[in-house]
Structure formats: structure tokens, C-alpha cells
Structure 1
Amino acid sequence: MSPRSASVNEELRRRSRERLLQATVELVAERGYEATKLGDIADRAGAARGLVSYYFPGKRQLLQSAVHRLMHLTLEEALEREPRTDDGRERLARAVDAILGLARDQPRLMRTHMAGILQAEGFIQCPEQQRLAQLLRDTVTRYGSADVDTDYPMLRALLMGAVVAVLLPGAPMPASRLRAELFQRYGLEWERGFPPDGGPPGGTFPP
């Protein structure tokens, strides 16, 4: 049997890594971070346990990469949903709704992710995070930013803050209110993106 080509080996490694990332998202969402062991992740992914350590230095890094992959895939799906559009304002509205939607639909997973970012190792750069950043930077560019290097980090910070506010134990902010604030900041009409039922919330918004 002839040896596999380098491209075939690379594709196999990519698939193995993605199975581990998907298994991590599923198990942490089901059981929580502490109850999820690296061996459980390998078993769910159908991978050898040594592969986890081969790809990731630890569980916290694995979780960050897994959640960044989920965020990237969710954001990509929202941006490319039919009817597809190149309208930068519509794409920004979809991006806001996609990230707020993850906080609503995956509260345990996203709360664990945000808690990990605030710990000592902080924000981990990984291929999944870089793909997420590329999508958000492209969204800011299409929106019409004249200074993407300044406006992209601000959008990222605002979205992270909104996710924390939605998930804050004991004092959560309604996602619809946070959506309205973000839409107001960026001059987006409420009807853009994927508006929730019930219309915009009441309250006073800055001009």
C-alpha cells in the first residue's frame, strides 16, 4: 500500500481536530466544564486520547478554540443566510444577532467561555479565533469603517460585554435591550438582521 500524501494526512488531522472541538462544545454544554474530562472528549470524538494533548496544551485552551469555532460557524451561517446580501449594515445587524443568539441558546457554554477568558491565561490566539476575527473585521469593513483596526476591537468588546450582560448570574440584562443599544450605536434599524418578537423595548436611548 502506498503511503498517504501530505495533503491527505493534513485533511485527516483537520478532521480529527474538528471532531475534538465539536465534542468539547457538546459535552461542556451538557455537563459543564468541571464534569467534562479530556478522556470523555476523546471518546465522544472517536479519537485516541493522546490526540487531545497533541493538538491542545490543556482543557481551557481546547474549550476556547471549540467555542471560537462555534462562534465562527454561527456567524458565518448568519451572514450567508438567504437572502444573501453585501449590504454592510444588514451584515452588521446579522452579526450582532448571531452573537447574542449564542448567549441565549448556549448559556452554560458561553458563560464558561467568558469566565475562562477572564482567568490568568486570558484570550488565547488560535486558528478558530483568527477565522472569527476575519469575519468580524470583514463585517466592519463592509459596514463602511474608515479605521478597521480601531473599530473592529471596539465591536468585539461591545459584543463580549453584551454576552456577559445577558449571562450575568442574578442580574441578567434582556437581550432585546442590549440589541437595541447596539443597533442605536451603529445606526441600524430594528427590522434588520433577525429581530426578536415583540418589537423594540421601551426606555431612553442616546441620540
Structure 2
Amino acid sequence: MTPRSAAVNEELRRRSRERLLDATVTLVGERGYEATTLGDIADLAGAARGLVSYYFPGKSQLLQSAVHRLMNRTLEAALEREPRTDDGRERLARAIDAILGLAQERPVLMRTHMAGILQAEGFVQCPEQQRLAELLRDTLRRYGAADVDAAYPLLRALLMGAVFAVLLPGAPMPADTLRDDLFQRYGLDWELGVPPSAKPPGGTMPTLTR
């Protein structure tokens, strides 16, 4: 039998890793973090249990990578959907809507993710997190941010704060209100992106311009 080439082996490793990430998103979203074991994840992914440890040092790191992959794939789909556009203001609006949408559509998963980030290890510097950062930085660049290095951490913090506020047990804030605040901060018209209603909370359209 002819040995597999390095390129084929690399592709097989990539697919195995992605199956583990997909399985993690599915199971944690359905069952929660504590009820999901690494064995469950490996079984759903059709992978050997030892393969999980080969790619990830632990369950918390696996979850962060899985959610960051979900976030960057959701964000990329939102940015590139039809009609495609290079307009920076529209792309930033789509980015905000994509992240807020995940908080509303995947509350268990995103709440677990936020809780994990607040633990001692903080952000996991994995390829999935780096891809998410790349997409947000490119969005800010197209939007016209004068200093992307300074603007990116602020946007990241604002989005994380909005997600936390949507998911706060017992005292959640309406996503529309948070969207309105973010849009006004960045001088975005309410009708950009995917507006959840014809007008923002309060019934008046933002008049800020860049």
C-alpha cells in the first residue's frame, strides 16, 4: 500500500479536528457543559477518545475553540451573504447582528462560553480565535477605523459585554436595545445589517453619522 502523502495526512487531521469541534457545539448546546464528556464528543465525532487529547489539552479549551469556530463561521457567512458588499458600515452592522444573533439563538452554548472565558485561562489563543480576530479586524479596516490595533479590542469588549447582557440570568437586556446602543456608538443606521424591527427602541431613527 502506498503511504499517504503529508498533504493527505494534514487534510485528514484537519477534518478530524473539525468533527470534534462540531460535536462539541452540538452536545454542549443540547446538554450543557457538565453533562457533556470528552468521550461523548469523541463518539459523536466518530473519533478515538485519545484523539481529543491529542488536539486539545482539556474540555474547556476544546469548548472555546469550538465556539470561536462557530462564531467566525457565522460571522463570515453574514459578511459574505448576498448581496455582497464592500461597504464598511454595512459589514460592521452585519458583524454586530451576527454576534448578537448567536447569543439569542444559542443561549446555553454562549453562556457556557462566556463563563469559561472568565476562568483563569481566559482566551485560548487557537486558530479559531485568531480567525475570528482577523475577520473583526478586517471589518474595522473597511469601516475606516483610524487605528485598527486600538479599535479591535474595544469592539471585542463591546460585543462581549452585549452578549453577556443578553444572557445575564434573571436580568437580561433586550437585544434590540443593545443593538441600538452599538449602532449609535459606531454611527450606523438602524436599517443596516439585519434590523429586528422597522425602528429602534424608542421609535426614532439614529441620526449619528461618521
Common topology (TM > 0.5): yes
Match of 1:143 in 2: 143
How far did 1:199 drift?
Answer: 2.2
Q: Using the alignment, how far apart are the partners of 1:187 and 1:197 within structure 2?
A: 18
How far did 1:202 drift?
Answer: 1.5
Match of 1:29 in 2: 29
Long gaps (5+) in structure 1: none
Residues 16-165 of structure 1 correspond to what in structure 2 (within 5 A)?
Answer: 16-165=16-165
Q: Using the alignment, how far apart are the partners of 2:104 and 2:201 within structure 1?
A: 17
SS at match of 1:130: helix
Q: Using the alignment, how far apart are the partners of 2:198 and 2:109 within structure 1?
A: 27
Aligned length: 207
Q: Using the alignment, how far apart are the partners of 2:27 and 2:95 within structure 1?
A: 26
How far did 1:37 drift?
Answer: 0.2
SS at match of 1:125: coil
Deviates more, 1:24-33 or 1:196-205: 196-205
Q: Using the alignment, how far apart are the partners of 1:110 and 1:77 within structure 2?
A: 18
SS at match of 2:26: helix
Answer whether contact 2:88 2:144 (CA < 8 A) is retained: yes
Q: Using the alignment, how far apart are the partners of 1:118 and 1:51 within structure 2?
A: 27
Which amino acid letter does the alignment assign opposite residue 197 of structure 1? S
Deviates more, 1:65-74 or 1:192-201: 192-201
Match of 2:11 in 1: 11
RMSD: 1.4
How far did 1:25 drift?
Answer: 0.2
Which amino acid letter does the alignment assign opposite residue 140 of structure 2? V
How far did 1:198 drift?
Answer: 4.8
Match of 1:167 in 2: 167
> Would you identify which runs of 4 or more consecutive aligned residues in structure 1 move more than 4 Å?
203-207
Q: Using the alignment, how far apart are the partners of 1:64 and 1:206 within structure 2?
A: 38
Which amino acid letter does the alignment assign opposite residue 25 of structure 1? V
SS at match of 1:146: coil
Answer whether contact 2:189 2:207 (CA < 8 A) is retained: no
How far did 1:197 drift?
Answer: 2.6
1:112-133, Cα deviation, whole Å (9 max, x unpaired): 0000000111111100000000
TM-score under structure 2 length normalisation: 0.96
How far did 1:203 drift?
Answer: 8.4
Q: CA, structure 1 residues 198+85, in 2 after alignment: closer, same or farther (shift >3 Å)?
A: closer
Long gaps (5+) in structure 2: none
Q: Using the alignment, how far apart are the partners of 2:150 and 2:123 within structure 1?
A: 18
